[in-house]
Amino acid sequence: MYFIVFWKEWCATIPSCWLFKESKIFKWPPKSKNPTLESIKATLPKENWSTIHYNRFIGPFGVAKCFVDNENNNIGFESQPLEYGNFFSQEPLLTKQSEPTNNNVESNNEIYISETLNDLNDTNQLDEQISLQQNILTSCRRDIQTIKKTINSVYLLVLDMSNEAPRDATNNLALNLPITSEKELKDFEILLKEDAAARSQYKKMIKNIGGTTFQKHVRNALTATLTDQMAYKMSWTGQKNSLMVKEMKIMDLIIETIINSRLDSTIDKIQAVIKSWLQHADDRLPKEERINKK
């Protein structure tokens, strides 16, 4: 009989003679041995074998998944043997203990090989069931993320429908926004890079601003952060001696916050809105204030 055991970083199929349920441990062959072949042959554990504590197991099963190489008269697993580099690098998982006794050990290796060859169809059904469960779990994780984003979107929509003016709702003395000068911009960038509390407060401000669409949300966040006079001096790539914003912490946090709360947004779409908002800053200025970008 065979069992599938799970521990911290891996899982493996082992014969019953390696498993000791009372102690929640199983035996594993040393590096000099091939675990795949030893498992098929149901070799009895030796004193130099490692003792591993498992988290859980499933089984028993009548067979281990294997193949037969008729040309070379060999038997082996369809899956590749475990890589010792991934397993034995986890020192806390390995402990040396005295070899437990197992009164139910099967000593006739030919029985195991015979069962393995005769019941391959049962193993294929088990593999299909495991694959189906994994697909269900993956789908559930995606659904949970979608639900979380939907809740955030509804929350932001409610805020936007409350008729609260974005700039009035986000005037915060600690953050000193909106930015009106290059010195304030430089100081705010340093603050965001060095102060985790400031970053958290700024992200919360962006989230609470809201917008009926992600485009409106981006523009509201920019309006609350920069005056039009400052935006007029800036561009995404810094062309024509303007201030380059694409590597600023401000833009990173705006993108991060909105993409995590709006289902209809992507990084490229948010960047496009920022670029457009900066490019049209002069349209929002009175004529007398329109000057050449320095």
Is 75 contained in some domain? yes
pLDDT by 10s per residue, the chain, length 294: 788 888 876 788 888 899 998 888 999 999 888 888 888 888 899 989 989 888 888 877 765 444 344 444 444 444 333 333 333 333 433 334 444 444 444 444 444 445 554 555 566 677 777 877 788 888 888 888 778 767 766 765 665 555 444 444 444 436 789 999 999 999 999 999 988 888 989 999 999 998 999 999 999 999 999 999 999 999 999 998 899 999 999 999 999 999 998 888 999 999 999 999 999 998 998 877 665 544
Same domain (yes/no): 149, 263: yes
- Strand 50-53 and strand 94-95: the pairing is antiparallel
Same domain (yes/no): 94, 175: no
Same domain (yes/no): 163, 208: yes
Same domain (yes/no): 243, 158: yes
With b for 16 or more beta-carbon neighbours within 10 A and e for fewer, the 12-33 pattern comes to: bbbbbbbbbeeeebbbbbeeee
Rounded distance, CA 68 to CA 70, Å? 6
Same domain (yes/no): 240, 108: no
For residue 28, the enclosing domain spans: 2-118
Is 50 contained in some domain? yes
Is 140 contained in some domain? no
Using the Cα atoms of residue 233, residue 238, residue 240 and residue 243 in order, give the sign of their dihedral. Answer: positive
How many domains does the structure of the chain reveal?
Answer: 2
Is 129 contained in some domain? no
Is 137 contained in some domain? no
Q: How many CB atoms lie within 10 A of CB 181?
A: 12
Same domain (yes/no): 164, 107: no
Is 136 contained in some domain? no
User: How many C-alpha atoms does 258 have within 13 Å on its Cβ side?
Assistant: 31
Is 139 contained in some domain? no
Is 217 contained in some domain? yes
